[in-house]
Amino acid sequence: MPLMRIDIITVLPALLESPFAHSIIKRAVDKNLVEINIINLRDYANNKHKKVDDYPYGGGAGMVMMIEPIDRCITALKAERAYDEVIYLSPDGEMLDQPMANRMSSAKNLIFLCGHYKGVDERVRKHLITREISIGNYVLSGGELAAAVLTDTLVRLIPGALSDETSALSDSFQDKLIAPPAYTRPAEYNGMKIPDILLSGNTPEVEKWRHEQSLERTKERRPDLLK
């Protein structure tokens, strides 16, 4: 049985095919570490044309996703298993960061609801959703790309998903610092040399240098993280 199951509710399933068909996520799926299900919301529409949106009460531009198909879909999923969270990807939700991802990576079952149009009926947010998450202070055409970002952020933290178990521990933001600069072969290229310390073989000094570099880079580029 997979360590994590993610059910993603969307009106555009094809938009999520490519992000999950390659690299770390695909390997995690193939190793049965995670199960990712893309659910077409239109399959739960109770009307001839599989319509899942309608005009907003009170007028205004745009369409709003209706509560009925969303409720039918979430109810059907919950009838089969318990979920840790039912998450709505929204620009005004909690801002996704690494500490949040670390905490969520231990979840067993998750539902992601991808918004579209002018969003969802507010009753969905008040009564069916347990958490709202944003990936940034900007607006996307839909929640699918945000769902892909959140999925990738969580899956790479599942034990066994990365070939090197310690790799995720040295990522940017894990210790609230930006990752230090990285170098590989050759040690010199067109007169550009890597720092001598990296060739010293002195592991404690190398780690000290990396921490100093992380601190300096964070001060320069993301001083907000140090607050």
List pLDDT tens digits, range 22-49: 999 999 999 999 999 999 999 999 988 9
**pLDDT one-digit tens code per residue, 161-217:** 997 655 555 555 667 899 999 999 999 999 999 999 999 999 999 999 999 999 999
- Distance from C-alpha of 121 to C-alpha of 112, rounded to nearest angstrom: 16
- Residues 95 and 146 both lie in one domain: yes
* Residue that finishes a domain, picked among 155, 181, 196: 155
**Residue 124 domain-assigned (yes or no):** yes
Query: Could you tell me what percent of the chain has a pLDDT over 70?
Result: 95
**pLDDT one-digit tens code per residue, 95-153:** 999 999 999 999 999 999 999 888 999 999 999 999 999 999 999 999 999 999 999 99
- Residues 184 and 120 both lie in one domain: no
Q: Whole-number mean pLDDT of the chain?
A: 94
CATH number, domain of 127, equals 3.40.1280.10
The pTM of the full predicted model, rounded to 2 decimals, is 0.89
How many domains would you assign to the chain? 2
What domain range is 191 assigned to?
172-226
- Residues 113 and 36 both lie in one domain: yes
- Residues 37 and 79 both lie in one domain: yes
- Residues 63 and 131 both lie in one domain: yes
- Residues 130 and 198 both lie in one domain: no
- Residues 146 and 181 both lie in one domain: no
**Residue 166 domain-assigned (yes or no):** no
Identify the pLDDT of residue 117: 87
- Residues 10 and 54 both lie in one domain: yes
Q: How many CB atoms lie within 10 A of CB 140?
A: 16
**Looking at residues 64-90, what average pLDDT do you find?**
98
**Residue 33 domain-assigned (yes or no):** yes
CATH number, domain of 219, equals 1.10.1270.20
